[in-house]
Structure 1
């Protein structure tokens, strides 16, 4: 089986963070489990999943990701042409070669496409803000977690909380469920097993407000404006004492960064977490910013709960990757992808709506 070259410093630091969690985490499995489940090849200047490319602009390397139909549909607008071939990458590479990386990536972002300039992001710890009263110490099993996140980083954070004993409610809209439901069932189960899964209309503000108001932890994975315009942000929805709200973004929430879309591979490039080769940078691992950010978010949540909560935690995937990229170099380890053990299948979309309504009724009932 092919191996994935992972920097030793990345493995060591991730293991140090995992050791402080109240659940056991196999870092090799965390970083290579999806690759093992999907049979992905080691990356080069094409990501392991195949949707991202490292490409040379006139002055610098950058990463582009075409993982969604909307990204592919936006390519003609990006290149300012009427149409492109079924394989758009040669045309993108040719277009990039005559432009600066900053200019090209800015245009892609204007079109809502995931793109990044190599090492444009500096390391940063999660941003912590007080948003509510503290709570006395609680056991993990007492916690109600509302997960409003999809794909990998946010659901992985929720899965770690579920493994610690918390009740985790995964919220999806029927019109746009978690995109990983359409992929490998084994991968979806790996990061979502053990959660209650409900279907909710994101325009049903009152129902969502009631759910968020009952939560001890909220995991938010959308761009902040998506909830803010529905009056569902952490500074608006009434909170239980000690509620922790963790906001996972691609590039942070400051200024235009709040509107930037990111996936694990391009976020890693933004943070400079790449390997170096004679012909240019290479991707590291499989969408590595996703599992590293899920781990960082879970660690930040457990730390906040130990402090009594009442906090908003903002975790940027690119900043997490930049933190790992800044570690002193200590060689690489060739890691054989580690397949996760079989787990209980995750619930179907909307399977637990009735159970969650009963749970909320019980939480709101007078003692």
Structure 2
């Protein structure tokens, strides 16, 4: 039996919802009972979904659908997709994400030593002898996604900047039928945001660099197709003047830009958010990064390490942190960015929306007000509220 402040909404249990959505199967170690985060995350997801009305969004599918396609299950301190690990450092915990071949190539530089064939063993041994922040900072210096557990606590999920003149208001029920969205994002968070804007009626044009196609293309085709169904697709060579000119022409026609790049990378292509917003009233620029556009180190982040930075983990029976969900910062950020984008469009636009993945996770992971409710694990593995004053059952208590 354990306590969690699970109910932001009276009468609804965020822990029971977490289990009903199938996310408990992605939370905890394989040999431990399935778990849930201590914060009322599911209740906050329901609030995000409500902000997307009148769209009908299946939160369970959004959060757990990709893992279901792969057949992934909970793996404790290893992420569901296997690329990220929670490692014990000399003074705490950190996450290191080695999802790309280049990350593995950089391990000798990260560890300042030879790396054995068991590369994760080498990383774990190095982490155990160093402060978490030292190893995470060195990894980020090399471009390897890494984060100290809870280091982004207090980071704002969204910073809204009015940088352009507003256009006509759409109102709360307004659809985006005449809106053109230029999708410069990749992987999951940005494309999910764009997918939802498309479902709200926007016309979406996805643009990729011929040298750097969207990495999600190399995953399950069903997942990629779902996010991009019905969208126009354009492939350009950003390394040529003609490619950059074509990109500028597409941006000039757009009402919304969604991107997940460092600001300096887009500036090199001639796209400056501040200038684009000032050029025409009613535009909206949605920028999705790991830690915000103003992050001094311009740190990189993927879904699992960003969640760890925001403190969004569960706790194993031995008290150690374990991953919850599948790269959960990605779908949470996609929902958050889409809700913010719709709100901007409905109020007339003119906004730069600076969405930080780690900040989104810190926000949904914040402690709830009110009492902590006890939960008991049943014979079927699910968790249920314990009626106030009920005694613990030693056969099912956690």
Q: TM-score range by the shorter chain?
A: 0.7 to 0.9
Equivalent residue for 2:116, pick from 85, 89, 108: 85
Q: Which runs of 5+ in 1 are unaligned?
A: 336-367
Q: Are the aligned partners of 1:134 and 1:242 in contact in 2 as well (CA < 8 Å)?
A: yes
Which stretch shows the higher mean deviation, 213-222 or 146-155? Answer: 213-222
1:331 to 1:87, Cα distance in 2 relative to 1, 3 A: farther
Task: Note if 1:191 corresponds to 2:227.
Answer: yes
1:26 is matched with 58
2:361 is matched with 321
Q: Are the aligned partners of 1:123 and 1:326 in contact in 2 as well (CA < 8 Å)?
A: no
Task: Note if 1:283 corresponds to 2:323.
Answer: yes
Which stretch shows the higher mean deviation, 312-321 or 225-234? Answer: 225-234
1:245 to 1:13, Cα distance in 2 relative to 1, 3 A: same
TM-score normalised per structure 1: 0.86
Q: Are the aligned partners of 1:52 and 1:265 in contact in 2 as well (CA < 8 Å)?
A: yes
| Structure ID, larger Rg | 2
Q: CA deviation at 1:330?
A: 6.1
Can you list the C-alpha shifts for 1:243-302, whole angstroms capped at 9, x where unaligned? 100000011122424x21100000000000000121510011000000000000000000
What's the secondary structure of 1:150's corresponding residue?
coil
1:325 to 1:310, Cα distance in 2 relative to 1, 3 A: same
Within 1, Cα distance between the matches of 2:355 and 2:36? 22
Within 1, Cα distance between the matches of 2:131 and 2:310? 18
Q: Which runs of 5+ in 2 are unaligned?
A: 1-21, 27-34, 383-398
What's the secondary structure of 1:142's corresponding residue?
coil
Equivalent residue for 2:273, pick from 202, 212, 234: 234
1:224 is matched with 263
Q: CA deviation at 1:174?
A: 1.2
What's the secondary structure of 1:19's corresponding residue?
helix
1:99 is matched with 130
Within 1, Cα distance between the matches of 2:61 and 2:40? 17
1:151 is matched with 187
Can you list the C-alpha shifts for 1:60-116, whole angstroms capped at 9, x where unaligned? 1000000011111110111112x4233310000111111101111111111110000
Q: CA deviation at 1:205?
A: 2.6
Aligned-residue Cα RMSD (Å) equals 1.9
In the comparison of the two structures, how many residue pairs are matched?
333
